[in-house]
A and B are shown apart, each in its own frame.
Chain A
Amino acid sequence: MINVKKTLFYQGINLFWSEIKEFLITLGNIGKDFVRTIKAMSTLRVDRKTLIEQCSRFSVDSLPITLTIVAMTSIIIAMQIAPELAKQGAGNYVGSLSALVMVRELSAIMSGFAIISMIGSSYASEIASMAVTEQISAMKVLRVDPVEYLIVPRFLSGVIMMPFVVVVSTFCGLVCAAVISNITAEITYLNFINSMWHGLFVKDIFVALLKSSFFGGTIALISCSCGYSTRGGALEVGISTTRAVVWSFVAIAIWDYIFASVFYL
């Protein structure tokens, strides 16, 4: 007789199943926390001081990293396309192409990545460590709703501040692109700016802002939720933080796809 439980097949299935279960549990937790957050927000009584604190943390603290990443992306793109287009006599299109790529796509997603690593991970780990040291239980016993106190201000800061972060970093990125095009392909600044406005529509800017807001809210919610449901000790705090980062990455990639297909297909 073979022991079924010892076969590789059984163990493989088991592992697979536990992964799926974990996935579903995480998804469930995020959904539950989203509903709770919305419910808590519906009272329209947000602690203003905490909200301002979180907003400044979300934007100002992350800006150096976000700007660097977006600017580098923008510089690299300009470096690749400006000389090439200029060589083919299409130097007039460098500005519009850069603006299109940055505004429609790269600024938001690159800022998103930067925010996940700067802000998402710290949201997740700080709330997770509060959970494992019973600070969240203590809050409940003191009859203060931890969702309202911890998650709502962070979620709102993401929704409100992400567009701001993206606007600033896009602006900075395009300035860098203009400088690089000027240096590498002798495209004048005036030419770059004129061409930029040719390529962009108000719709692009509107979609970019809306998308960033969704990104910010999603990152904050997922990070808080992964932290909030942590049980155990230091090891689990690490696992939750990793989970928050991975889930946030995948989630904003999916949002990006959804926005692209809804608005540009």
Chain B
Amino acid sequence: MRFGVLQFPGSCDERDALHAAGLVGDADLIWHGDRDLHGADAIVVPGGFSYGDYLRAGAIARFSPAMEAVIEFARAGGLVLGICNGFQVLCEAHLLPGALLPNTNLRFTFRQVSLEVVNPDTPFTRACTPGQPLSIPAKHSWGRYHADEDTLASMESNGQAVLRYAAGENFNGSVRDIAGVCNEAGNVFGLMPHPEHAVDALTGGSTDGLAIFESMRRSVELASV
């Protein structure tokens, strides 16, 4: 099982993601200019400020050569996890529905947040139980998930609202407390909180984030059996 972790100029959390992925499998960084995913079984689009994010979060990275390869990979059913800036990139690339807007407080905010697993039946949450609480740090200024009502209704009925903020934890103002969403096919998943920063009790405040990476490993291994 091999993870590929994208690295854009301005990425911040790519080495943290590399570390987290490395706890359940092998992991390589993939340079933004590289159109080749080098046989990765799953892709992580990490957090940070790709290309400085001076236009709109994720709007430039979405056009990088590596992202072109990721879009093809996703369309072929490959697993793609977008964390924070990665979530924004995946929405900009239309691999995920909806968009991320500035937090309602218009400030960068860092907090450990409690999440609730709404749908444990996805390749990214299969190691979780329904309603399982996950304590994971979040840190962003553009994290307010938004989609129109029709899209939300269809997402909810398809189980695409995979994670929600627990009561009182939705500091960014996301619609319907949605913290993480997947695409209709279920192979692309994005979330604002940082599971890669919750894999080590010493530095992460919890190890709850491992469940996401572990789920991906299981999904890849099941698919290859």
The answer to whether A and B assemble together is no
